[in-house]
Amino acid sequence: MSSTAASPEQPAPPAAPIKWSIPARVVSGFSGTVGLVVKLCFLAVVNALGAYAAVVLAGDEKWLALAIVAAATAAIDVVYLGSRAYPLKFLVPGTVFLVAFQIAPIIYNVNVAFTNWSTGHITTKEAAIVGIQVNSLAESAGGGSYVMAPARNLDTGSLALLLVDDETGKGYVGTKEGLEEDTAVKAGSEGTITTAPPGYALVPPQELLSLDKQLSAFTVPVGGQKAIRAEGLETAIVLEPTLKYDPKTDTFTRISDGVVFYDNGKGSFEAKNGEELEPGWKTYIGFANFKRLVNDPLVRDPFVRVFAWTMAFATLCVFFSFALGLFLAITLDKPELRFRRSYRSLLVVPYAVPGFLSLLVWAGLLNDDFGVVNKILHTSIPWLFDPTWAKVSVLLVSIWLTFPYFFLVSMGALQSIPGELVEAARVDGAGPLQIFRKVTLPLLLVAVAPLLIASFAFNFNNFNNIYLLTGGGPPSEDGSVAGGTDILISYTWKLAFEAGKGTDYGLASAVSILIFFIVAAISAFSFWRSKSLENLA
């Protein structure tokens, strides 16, 4: 009988030290007391901003916005001071940014689309009435003129006009309350007022230009309906109103011919003959902006023309960019090809250079007077100043900027196609073109079709390529703000900042909503149609 001696128990090897990553060290460093202090400081800043916003909103009587800010601030305090709301602590920052940068701008844009916000309609009705009254002042037939100098009251800081009558030479101080004679106000040898009376100080010359708008609205009543208003920086004249406002009937009446201007419900005082007084005021007008896109030929015709070009631009850009990128990807998908990596690197260069910089460079290269392209080709093609050539230029440059993206996408998608399928097709006697049409392209579209749809949506709203290359030009023959190469998004920008009398934010917002629905409808239809490709995967 044999026996084995029991071997002594071997000691366990020492555990390897845990290596903490840098993010883990940072997180652990902010735990405990340090984390509490940081959290309290963060909440202090949030509450301070909330309090400041509450004061501003209360001053502007924005009660709904005030309630939202107060509720959001209180909710943040509850979430981060509580000990159980761990998921919300991570969801709140993303939700705040989502609301601030996505949802709130969308709601604001939709709200603007149902208003008449534009040049001449940017203020309230009360301010518009005051503006009309000021604008209605005209030079009085029996009034006089004055040498004038702006001054400020040393006690109150309020604006005043130092005046010297051109006929009598008497001096006056004019305020919003009226005209008061002051013998200390005199004109110098050069016909200007160089000294101020006691209690007043002349406005320094460096501040005069900043007083332009304030002076144009400043009037000194002189009895009846007459008033003195500055004309420039050194003279003033007596004015009297040409319109009379009746607050009971909410109407203006022109004194000369008795024409009455009524509130037309669209943000203006309008006479029966269609004449409107300026300025108007911002108000809600329902679907009027959307109706203009259908009924107003000055808006409808350019919109239809721009929409057709936008569809053509987005479609052609995606088609040719994808075709060129796929062709180059197939060409370079050959292991026996020498310098293949170098070719691939060179083809990606347009994608690596910032797009706005490339567009500005191309704008110089295609200039018909001193551009390099015309000099090399020994031609004088108006690449950017002829409607047809400008469209060609925009397409060529857009394709040049986009094809590297599809080259990279196609190159990766080609690698995912099983080689057995291609080999089986060859065994069955299929030629290269048949293999491409029946095997390669259908399988490629399974992965690339969503990217094609996304690229179409991107080019549909590709503002940079249009604005930086042609500015939407050249000008169109119909005289509208829409140029020869404008797409809907650049046309919308022009409506917002260059339309009609200056700006038309309401109409531009309405167009932007239509753009959203157009792109959404085209994308939804394209995704629905592309589902048939999934059966090939």
Name residue 260's beta-bridge partners: 253
Of 533 and 440, the structure prediction assigns the larger pLDDT to 440
73 and 201 inside one domain = no
Classify residue 362: in a domain, yes or no: yes
Q: Does 100 have pLDDT greater than 70?
A: yes
Q: Convert the pLDDT of each residue in 227-276 to its tens digit.
A: 898 888 889 999 989 999 999 999 999 998 999 999 999 999 999 999 99
100 and 142 inside one domain = no
Q: Does 492 have pLDDT greater than 90?
A: yes
317 and 375 inside one domain = yes
Name residue 145's beta-bridge partners: 237
Of 532 and 289, the structure prediction assigns the larger pLDDT to 289
426 and 385 inside one domain = yes
Q: Does 88 have pLDDT greater than 90?
A: no
Classify residue 14: in a domain, yes or no: no
pLDDT band at 14 (very low <50, low <70, confident <90, very high): low
What pLDDT shows up at residue 535? 56
Q: Does 320 have pLDDT greater than 70?
A: yes
What pLDDT shows up at residue 30? 60
Q: Does 394 have pLDDT greater than 80?
A: yes
Domain boundary among 199, 217, 241: 241
143 and 228 inside one domain = yes
Q: What is the rounded average pLDDT of the residues 116-126?
A: 93
User: CA–CA separation, 485 vs 385, rounded Å?
Assistant: 10
Rg of the chain over CA atoms, in angstroms? 36
pLDDT band at 462 (very low <50, low <70, confident <90, very high): very high
Classify residue 290: in a domain, yes or no: no
**CB under 8 Å to 317, separation ≥6 — which residues?**
395, 398, 399, 402, 459, 462
219 and 330 inside one domain = no
User: CA–CA separation, 62 vs 69, rounded Å?
Assistant: 11
446 and 314 inside one domain = yes
Classify residue 277: in a domain, yes or no: no
Classify residue 124: in a domain, yes or no: no
CATH of the domain at 402: 1.10.3720.10
Range of weakest confidence among 26-40, 274-288, 383-397: 26-40
Q: What is the rounded average pLDDT of the residues 39-61?
A: 91
Q: What is the DSSP string of 453-481?
A: HHHHHHHHT-HHHHHHHTTT-SPPTT-SS
Residue found under tokens 């549909």 = 460
45 and 109 inside one domain = yes
Tell me whether residue 135 is exposed, middle or buried, using C-beta atoms within 10 angstroms of its C-beta: 0 to 12, 13 to 18, 19 or more. middle
Q: Does 1 have pLDDT greater than 50?
A: no
pLDDT band at 335 (very low <50, low <70, confident <90, very high): confident
pLDDT band at 150 (very low <50, low <70, confident <90, very high): very high
Q: Are 178 and 222 in contact, with CB atoms under 8 Å apart?
A: yes
Tell me how far CA of residue 369 lies from CA of 332, 363, 465, 470, 485, in angstroms: 38, 12, 21, 15, 20
Q: Does 467 have pLDDT greater than 50?
A: yes
CATH of the domain at 35: 1.20.58
Domain count along the chain: 3
303 and 198 inside one domain = no
141 and 108 inside one domain = no
Q: Does 532 have pLDDT greater than 70?
A: no
Range of weakest confidence among 109-113, 179-183, 505-509: 179-183
Q: What is the rounded average pLDDT of the residues 415-419?
A: 84
Q: Does 385 have pLDDT greater than 80?
A: yes
Domain boundary among 226, 241, 256: 241
Q: What percent of the chain has pLDDT over 90?
A: 51
Of 529 and 203, the structure prediction assigns the larger pLDDT to 203
Of 25 and 9, the structure prediction assigns the larger pLDDT to 25
Tell me how far CA of residue 436 lies from CA of 206, 403, 416, 421, 433, in angstroms: 74, 20, 15, 11, 5
- Which domain does 425 fall in, by range? 297-536
143 and 108 inside one domain = no
Prediction pTM value: 0.79
Q: What is the rounded average pLDDT of the residues 64-70?
A: 90
461 and 517 inside one domain = yes
The dihedrals phi and psi of 181, each to the nearest 5 degrees, come to -70, 140
Classify residue 269: in a domain, yes or no: no
Of 338 and 1, the structure prediction assigns the larger pLDDT to 338
Classify residue 322: in a domain, yes or no: yes
What pLDDT shows up at residue 465? 94
